[in-house]
Amino acid sequence: MRALKAFVPFFMVAAAAFPAKAREDVNIYSYRQPELIAPLLEAFEEETGINTNVLFLDTGLTERVKAEGVNSPVDVILTVDIGRLTDAKEAGITQPVSSALIEDDIPAQYRDPNGEWFALTKRGRVVYASKDRIGVVPITYEELADPKWKGAICIRDGQHPYNIALIASMIAHHGLDYTETWLEGLKANLATRPNGNDRSQAKAIMSGECDIALGNTYYVGLMMTDEKEPEQQEWAAAIDILFPNADDRGTHVNVSGMAMAKNAPHPENALKLMEFLASPEAQEIYAEQVFEYPVMPGAEASDIVKSFGEIHPDPLPLSEIAAQRRQASELVDKVRFNDGP
């Protein structure tokens, strides 16, 4: 299997990022870590003979593509979070894609109604619970505002896109007034000010700082298999995964996804890549490599993810959730959520 040709850290000049040649190339800007997408792109290269050139960015992808304008070399945008997908569309850096293959593989709730973005994987925004102090119990997002959890909850920054998406889903289900009251109750139940990332919430549970926390499912798989920092395996071993609202409306899910760039210089190759990423083969690779759930109906999660238990995703279309993101962000500031309890 051929090595990928261009995993690069950053380029100051867009023209220098990718080779100048090229009917056989497809150029990618990615928020996804290179090691997570490498197996997918290797499989695509082997199957099609098309070279994949990747520029990884951890911030500023949308702003970069806008600044490059019609001279942008990017064909396909890969990103995480429904917010970043919709931001790309709203910034005018994507274009509609019509593909029967993609639409057959990706359910309508996980794609833009106009075909400007498509989800590739989903991850649950779940509750991490102390194995020793809580165990596996039914739980709901609404319940997190109940005073019985006072001093028991850890969470990362309220303005983080993963939390904004969850709060936006609460607005979509319950309305603005309810969600404001709920967010105030959740804030009152925090053990400390919001801080860290999802992995550090598991660490805080292990250390006894809190009993439950909000986090994404895939981080647990990453912690369980982390050989570079084996202490993270201990964090994962200290928690159970609880799927909120499993018995009613379902657990909130977020996604990783793709879009074709507005000025893609290789649109035919871009479409081939997008169709491949939506295919059963790519869905299987994603499931094994990144511990996320495939979006394709019937595609199976990895054995590690299956060990978490069955997830029942909230059926609300992601586009409806994304529409509430601005109000969700405003609520976080209004209730001074990041000040803590």
Sketch out the chain's domains with CATH numbers: 6-121+255-302 (3.40.190.10), 123-251+311-339 (3.40.190.10)
Encode 290-317: b = buried (16+ Cβ within 10 Å), e = exposed. Answer: bbbbbbbeebebbebbeebeebebbebb
Average pLDDT, whole number, for the chain?
Answer: 92
Terminal alpha carbon distance of the chain: 53
Determine the pLDDT at residue 33: 82
Dihedrals phi, psi of 262, to nearest 5 degrees: -60, -40
Residue 130 has pLDDT above 70, yes or no: yes
pTM of the model: 0.89
Residue 13 has pLDDT above 60, yes or no: no
Determine the pLDDT at residue 289: 84
- Which helix or strand (DSSP H or E) is residue 273 part of? helix 267-277
Determine the pLDDT at residue 19: 55
**Average of pLDDT values for 210-234?**
96
Question: Can you tell me whether residue 55 is helix, strand or coil?
Answer: strand
Beta strands per DSSP E along the chain = 6-8, 25-30, 51-56, 76-80, 94-95, 118-130, 153-154, 212-216, 239-242, 253-261, 293-294
**Closest C-alpha to 212, from 125, 128, 337:** 128
Determine the pLDDT at residue 3: 35
Question: Is 207:276 a contact under the CB 8 Å cutoff?
Answer: no
pLDDT digits (tens, 9 = 90+) for 260-297: 999 999 999 999 999 999 999 999 888 888 899 999 99
Q: How far from 325 is each of 143, 171, 209, 286, 319, CA to CA, in Å?
A: 22, 9, 30, 27, 10
Residue 305 has pLDDT above 60, yes or no: yes
> How sure is the predictor about 8, in pLDDT bands with cuts at 50, 70 and 90?
very low
pLDDT digits (tens, 9 = 90+) for 157-215: 999 999 999 999 999 999 999 999 999 999 999 999 999 999 999 999 999 999 999 99
Is 293 annotated in a binding site? The answer is no
Is 162 annotated in a binding site? The answer is no
Please work out, in degrees rounded to the nearest 5, the angle formed at the alpha carbon of residue 269 by the alpha carbons of 266 and 270. 80
253: exposed, middle or buried (Cβ count in 10 Å: 0-12, 13-18, 19+):
buried
Determine the pLDDT at residue 290: 86
Q: What is the number of other CB atoms lying within 10 angstroms of the CB of residue 136? A: 12
